[in-house]
Structure formats: structure tokens, C-alpha cells
Homo-oligomer: A and B are copies of this chain.
Amino acid sequence: MDPYGLRRVVAPVGVLPQRADVLDPALPLGEDEVAIEVEALNVDAASFRQLEGAVGRDPARIAAEVERIVRARGKLHNPVTGSGGMLIGRVAEVGPRHPAAAVLHPGDRVATLVSLTLTPLALRRVSAVRPEIDRVECAGRAILFATGPWARLPEDIPERVALAALDVCGAPALVARQAEPGQRVLVIGAGKSGVLVCAMAKERLAGRGEVVVADCSAAALARVAELGVCDRTLALDATDAVGALAGAQQGGGSLFDLVVNCASVPGTEMAAILCARDGGTVVFFSMATSFTAAALGAEGVGKDVRLVIGGGYVPGHADLTLDLLRRHPKVRASFEERYAR
């Protein structure tokens, strides 16, 4: 048993696969591993842009560079950006002691929800590069460790819509644990994860309390309002903590029990903290969050708030998020409009 894939680490010896320079994708399948016949790599946007910058926008050259990296490292771990992406494919083989051995079968179509930076991968060929969606279509074999989250691709939701939702599925899943009926919830950021978080929070409040979504884009707020997943919108710039607090308290409103930060820009920690009531909770999902800004910020204003790191994994998060899309046809339609093309 090798739940973290340590035996596949070639160099440096003894680190976790994510920190490794080189993995060995060719070892025989472990009894707690799953082999996936890869169809496509959804490359992290930052990585894709770097590849384009390095070798140019010619698909053939990008394909060659992807093949070169995977050959050298045994994984698509961009050595410059440090980022990866995710993959989709069909299950080829299931080790008898993998936790999902009873439910995963050869031929099942799945997406891995674990970064390509730690996924052993061997490519036979790249068949197409699609820069407009950061995708590399290919044939190859990848390994999923026992601890690696994955999701079955649904048959009733277009693949690209499902991938867009799965990409942020940890956020609504964690909010489902945090939100409770009667709470006032503020969601900062009206993008993809913000919309799903709103929808989940609104369900959890069960008609008691309030879900408010804040963003600096009036257009984004108008779109969310149309989806019926929030009670109110608030136009504010979350990088302006003082202005955000004034906006949140506008009309004598009290502060929020739960603030969920889904902003995509840096510098929004203090706005989130100031908008939470004493005794409340702030959950940070933005990868632009600064640990010290959050920790020192709350101390500096003497605010007693629980500060939670939104770590993308919650058991069942993929199904929970796809079901959320199914229950909210307007949200699903907006995802289809935006991502299914």
C-alpha cells in the first residue's frame, strides 16, 4: 500500500510526488492505484500561457514541449510556473485495494481532481492542442493514487460544464458545512465559485437569513441576481477594506455571520475580516490570499473571527457540486452559456 505514491518518486528521494522533480509512471500498477487511459489534459491557464510564451503559439511546438516535459518529469508539472492542471480519461485498470475498487470499473469516464503536478503520466502521442480552452488532447496513461480525489464524468451534463464546476467544487462543499439557517452570509466575488457558493448557501439557509453577493463588477452582480441564488447584491471593491465595510453596513445593516472570500485578486483579506461579525467565520478560497495579511489583519483590528483556509477537498464534493447544478437550472444554463461552447 502506497497511498501517497511515494514509491513512484525518482528524484529527489523521499519527497512527496508534488515536490518531486521526476516520477516513474512506468512501474507496474500498485494494488491501491488506478490506471487511467488519458484523453485530454486540461492544462492550468498560467502553465499554458507560459508554454505559449516559451515556444510560440504553434500547436505542434506546444505539443512537442508538453511531450518533452512529460518525458523528462513523468508528469505534466510545468517547471517554470510550478502548476499543472487536471486530466480526463477512462479507467483502464483498478487495483484491488484502491478505496474505490468496488465502484470504479474499466471504461468509466473520470476526471482527476488532483493536480497534474503530482500525477504520474506517460504520453504515447499528443493528437491536438486547443489553446482557446487550454486543452491538450492526447493518448497516454496516468496513475491515480489511493488518496487522489477523482470524479465520475456525468452523462447528463456537458463535459466542459462539468469540468468548470468540478474545478471549484471544494468551495460549495465546504460552505455546505459552514452555513446554517438564520445566518447572514456574504460572498465576495461573483465569479464561478462565488455563484456556486451562493447557490449552496441559499439552500442551507432554508429561507431564513440572507445571502449577499459582493463584487466590483455591476455586470457580474446583475448576472448573479438573475440566477436567483442570492437575496441581495452589493457593489463594492474588496481591495478597499474601509469602503467595503461602509458598503456592508449601509442602511444600518449588521455584519455577517459568515463571509466567503471567492475574490480572484489579492488584497481582499481585510474587507472579508471587517465584514464579519465578532464571533463569525471567514472562509478564504482565493489562491491570492496572503496568510499573514489574514492572520495579522484580524489581530490588528481586535476581531474575534474564525479564519478558515478553503482547502479544495471535502468528501463527496464533486457529486455535491454537480447535483447543485442539476437543482439550479438557471445556474446550469449560465455555465452552459459560458463554458459549453
**Could you tell me which A residues sit within 8 Å of B by CB distance?**
3-4, 6, 14-16, 18, 113-115, 117-118, 147-149, 170, 240-243, 270, 274, 284, 287, 289-292, 294-315
Cα–Cα distance between A312 and B297 once the two chains are bound (Å): 9
Which of A289, A295, A297, A303 has the largest number of chain B CB atoms within 10 A? A295
Residues of B within 8 A of A297 (CB): 18, 311
Given A114-B299, A147-B302, A148-B302, residue A242 in contact with residue B313 (CB < 8 A): no
Query: Could you write out 18 A-B pairs with CB less than 8 Å apart?
Result: A4-B242, A4-B274, A15-B242, A16-B270, A18-B297, A114-B300, A117-B300, A147-B303, A149-B299, A284-B291, A287-B292, A289-B291, A295-B312, A298-B312, A304-B314, A304-B315, A307-B309, A307-B311
Cα–Cα distance between A311 and B4 once the two chains are bound (Å): 31
Inter-chain contact B305/A311, CB cutoff 8 Å: yes
Residues of B within 8 A of A306 (CB): 308
Inter-chain contact A242/B311, CB cutoff 8 Å: no
Cα–Cα distance between A243 and B136 once the two chains are bound (Å): 36
| Residue from B6, B270, B309 in contact with A294 in the complex, judged by beta carbons closer than 8 Å | B309
| Residue from B284, B295, B301 in contact with A310 in the complex, judged by beta carbons closer than 8 Å | B295
Residues of B within 8 A of A295 (CB): 287, 309-312
Cα–Cα distance between A294 and B4 once the two chains are bound (Å): 16
Inter-chain contact B6/A300, CB cutoff 8 Å: no
- Whole-angstrom distance from the CB of A236 to the nearest CB of chain B? 13
Inter-chain contact A302/B242, CB cutoff 8 Å: no
Inter-chain contact B291/A16, CB cutoff 8 Å: no
- Whole-angstrom distance from the CB of A235 to the nearest CB of chain B? 17
Cα–Cα distance between A311 and B293 once the two chains are bound (Å): 10
Count of this chain's copies in the oligomeric assembly: 2
Given A147-B302, A301-B4, residue A16 in contact with residue B242 (CB < 8 A): yes
Given A242-B14, A243-B14, residue A311 in contact with residue B287 (CB < 8 A): no
Inter-chain contact B240/A14, CB cutoff 8 Å: yes
Residues of B within 8 A of A313 (CB): 298-299, 302-304
Which of A115, A170, A309 has the largest number of chain B CB atoms within 10 A? A309
Cα–Cα distance between A307 and B307 once the two chains are bound (Å): 9
Q: Which residue of B lies closest to A5 (CB)?
A: B301
Which of A117, A148, A284, A300 has the largest number of chain B CB atoms within 10 A? A300
Residues of B within 8 A of A18 (CB): 297, 300
Cα–Cα distance between A241 and B3 once the two chains are bound (Å): 14
Residues of B within 8 A of A299 (CB): 113-115, 149, 170, 311-313
